[in-house]
Structure 1
Amino acid sequence: MENNGGEAARPKVAVVVFLLNGNKVLLGRRRSSVGRNTFGLPGGHLEFGESFEECAAREVKEETGLDLDIHKIEYLTATNNVHSSPHPLHIVTILMRAIQADPHQNPQNLEPEKCEGWDWYDWDNLPRPLFGPLETMAQNGFNPFPPAPHN
């Protein structure tokens, strides 16, 4: 497969964040061509030399204005996503879990051309439609919350 420049197409790497607040997760309605009008997590493309944690903190800050507790950003899993519409796209997505540095800070929509706005949603009552990869994870029983400690 080739991209428009004639060179071989290569997968891109994205980092998305399950930003948790109690039993809720932060989601926004996407405005991009891939997944338009679906609810998705904050995140974006990994930059050269950046750690997953650095990317998670940067993307959340750029999109929502929220600061993450840098010591509590955790790797959860990765997914391999190939989209054919509106154009071929292959994204390896790194999924991270995080909490806010300041729980009293409210999300802002700092990229209105990419997102309609951010809100907190109960994991057991998510809005629909979800962005495809997130929908698949939810349907397969994925849970972004840490396991309860055993007594």
Structure 2
Amino acid sequence: MEAPVPRVGVVVFIVKGKMVLLGRRRSTGVGDSKFALPGGHLEFGESFEECAAREIKEETGLDIDKIEFLTVTNNLFLEETKHYVAIYVRAFLRDPHQLPQNLEPTKCEGWDWYDWDNLPKPLFWPLEKMVLEGFNPFPNA
């Protein structure tokens, strides 16, 4: 059996005012029934921005732009023998009136906007850890 190797994910803070888009995960892997940001695996040859735009379109139908790098986290899921390096970016809706659709219902129960100061529980632990450490995904006004 091959040794497990780290995977790279791109995770997107789509911000609207002081709200972020979150969905409740449906997963046989990690984070089942936890609220999480949209995102997915980086494909060979993709930039972080290309991955973010593709994953958001595939999962929510939304078009995003102004994609900016925010931070990186190193996430070990020891019980599941998984290791993810997560590249976090911030993005904005190209059309502020566009509504998210749940295009992958086997992976997510649905998408909604949540106020950063009143996030739903339970959060997916990498996001929960960022919140507890005081991370702020919003641009400085």
TM more than 0.5: yes
TM-score by length of 1: 0.91
1:77 to 44, 61, 71: 71
Q: Answer yes or no: is 1:118 the counterpart of 2:111.
A: yes
TM-score by length of 2: 0.97
Q: Answer yes or no: is 1:18 the counterpart of 2:13.
A: yes
CA shift, 1:81, in A, is 0.3
Aligned length: 140
For residues 8 and 113 of structure 1, the distance between their equivalents in structure 2, rounded to whole angstroms, comes to: 28
Structural mapping, 1:1-151, within 5 Å: 6-33=1-28, 34-69=30-65, 72-85=66-79, 87-148=80-141
Q: Secondary structure at the match of 2:117?
A: coil
Aligned to 1:3: none
Which consecutive residues of structure 1, in runs of 5 or more, have no partner in the other structure? Answer: 1-5
Q: In terms of Rg, which structure is larger?
A: 1
One-letter amino acid of the counterpart of residue 43, structure 2? E
CA shift, 1:28, in A, is 0.1
